[in-house]
Amino acid sequence: MVKKGIVRIKDIAEKAGVSTGTVDRVLHERGRVAEDVKQKVLEIAQELNYQPNMLARTLVNNRVYEIAALIPDPGQDIYWQAPKTGIEKAQTELAQFGVRVTQFIFDPYEAASFREKAGEVVAMGPDAILVAPIFYRESLTFFKKWKALEIPFALFNTHIPDYEPLIYIGQDSYQSGFLAAKLLHYGHPQGATFLVAHIDVDLSNSSHLVNKEQGFFDYFGQINSETPYSLLQADLHNSSSAAFYEQLDVLLQENPGVKGIFVTNSKAHTVAHYLQMRGITQIKVVGYDLMERNLHFLNKGLIEFLINQNPKGQGYWGIYGLADQLVFKKKVSPIKYLPLDIITKENLHYYIEADL
């Protein structure tokens, strides 16, 4: 009988009636073993709930696994601090297994900066790459290079399935846009006008925001209504300047029936601040992310709902997904969709207190 506790290779060998060397070859897939013996060893290993000692294995191999994390600069957009923190948390936990993460930080408003840092990643030649591919066209160029070099890569925040990344971690952008439309639709009469606002982005190079917009429009396209809802789309820039207010002034003057605004990124607070300054109370705002400025306006009632994208979890699970492939030799699911959490001021504290 095997005592309860850690199951050793020796225990499996004794029960299977073979040598420890044979068990080692089967479990680590090295060397040739007769098929019937292999199956017997695997069945006993499963029966005994054998768990490999990954720490001991990595110490014996003395292997360092180099992961490059290509991420936007939180100094330019504070949203990216959360995934950076998640990456660093995963790095700390996985360091004992020989995982080392090098960060390459690019300007989220400059495609040239992405190209430069992605080039540095190629020059480094890592074992795997985690990337937020917010610049669609530039990302495709490097996906081709990484594929040619046989470097596995994981995506977070933005899903671009064309080049079959090892894994994507984030939300279903289309469904999150669909959800935002449903949230704004509640309580509004037929014929109301809703605005989709893209703020401080190059929409033509941001596929995930296009998918959110499509989901939003498709929701209202499925509604049978004698008086159809009016849908608008606007690309707004320079959110920290007076020009931003002027853009919104013109939009609302030309479309006085606007009852709701869907902000497709983390900058709902810029619209909420505008509404506060103009004394506008009849327009509801739905946006993304539990950033301090968004939370301020959520608590004041100027943002109705926030959809939590769990950016910290995106960075954390992105590194773990790559480690599962590189270190632990696990089969990795190609998509890890994160929940579409709807945050209000009433349930906010549950999410603030959560670690991931």
For 192-250, how does the pLDDT look when each residue is reduced to its tens digit (9 = 90+)?
999 999 999 999 999 999 999 999 999 999 987 777 899 999 999 999 999 999 999 99
pLDDT given for residue 20 in this prediction: 86
pLDDT at 2: 41
Query: Residue 20 half-sphere exposure, CB side, CA atoms within 13 Å?
Result: 5
Q: Are 99 and 124 in contact (CB under 8 A)?
A: no
88 φ/ψ angles, rounded to the nearest 5 degrees:
-70, -35
Span 63-171+311-338: which CATH code? Answer: 3.40.50.2300
Contact 318, 129 (CB under 8 A): no
What is the reported pLDDT for 53?
63
Instruction: Please give the pLDDT value at position 161.
Output: 87
Residue 163 CB burial class (10 angstroms; 0-12, 13-18, ≥19): middle
Write down the domain spans for the chain: 9-52, 63-171+311-338, 173-308
**CA dist., res. 320 & res. 61, Å (int):** 20
User: Which CATH number is correct for 9-52, 1.10.3720.10, 3.90.600.10, 1.10.260.40, 3.90.1150.10?
Assistant: 1.10.260.40
CATH placement of domain 173-308: 3.40.50.2300
Q: Do domains 9-52 and 173-308 have the same CATH topology?
A: no
pLDDT of residue 129: 98
Q: Flag residues of the chain having pLDDT under 70.
A: 1-6, 52-61
**How many angstroms separate the Cα of 38 from the Cα of each of 25, 52, 53, 174, 240?**
9, 17, 20, 46, 65
For residue 279, give the 3-state DSSP assignment: coil
pTM: 0.82
